[in-house]
Amino acid sequence: MCANEYGVMMIMSITSFSNKAALQADPLIPSGLTEFTAVDLVVCQSKTAREAVEVLASLLDRYGSSEINIALIADQRETWYVEMYNGHQYAAVKLPEDRVCAFGNEFLLEYVSDYEDSMGHSDISVTMNTYTHLGLEEAVSETNRLQQLESARKEQAALEGKSDEVRISKKMFRVG
């Protein structure tokens, strides 16, 4: 768990499990975010829980995830529940003020599909209570596009006589 001077708190140590088809469509990214890197990177850049969800989503869109996790992000005004299903697929829901959330190491959004604030949109400003990435249908084409870019990067590195190894550091994950 991590908290900052603005009262933004995040915990992302709730490991869960995804199905094989989802992982084939959008595999985990070995160099992507982990529960340890994400918490530090998100909280240090956020003044509100909503902003932390936007930062986390931006990092997941750009770098992907190396783990299947569930996160809770909160400040004094609101609490968000975030499920990360595979490499780049996630959903975030703002929890209602008059409810509590208790869960084990399993996803629960499928059980709240009737929850009025659970409809998704790729722009957080539209519904203000949900935030999602691409649909699973788009994940295969996005994964193929990323693999083509990676192959091109490796070919370019080989032509230039450089190592194709990419070293990951916290500086690479800055949003802004």
Question: For the chain, how long is the longest CA-to-CA vector?
Answer: 60
Query: What is the per-residue pLDDT across 3-21, written as a single tens digit (0 to 9) for each?
Result: 999 999 999 887 887 878 8
Can you tell me the distance from the alpha carbon of 44 to that of 28, in angstroms, rounded to the nearest whole number?
24
Q: Which residues make Cβ contacts (< 8 Å) with residue 4, sequence separation at least 6?
A: 43, 44, 46
Can you tell me the distance from the alpha carbon of 95 to that of 155, in angstroms, rounded to the nearest whole number?
46
Q: Please say whether the beta carbons of 87 and 64 come within 8 A.
A: yes
The residues spanned by each domain of the chain are 2-173
Instruction: Give the model's pLDDT for residue 161.
Output: 79
Strand pairing report for 69-74 and 79-84? antiparallel
Average pLDDT over residues 56-75: 91
Average pLDDT over residues 81-86: 87
Can you tell me the distance from the alpha carbon of 137 to that of 13, in angstroms, rounded to the nearest whole number?
28
The DSSP output letter for 88 is: S
Taking 3-state DSSP, the helix, strand and coil percentages for the chain, each rounded to the nearest 5, stand at 40, 20, 45
The SS3 assignment for 92 reads strand
Residue 76: pLDDT band (50, 70, 90) is: very high
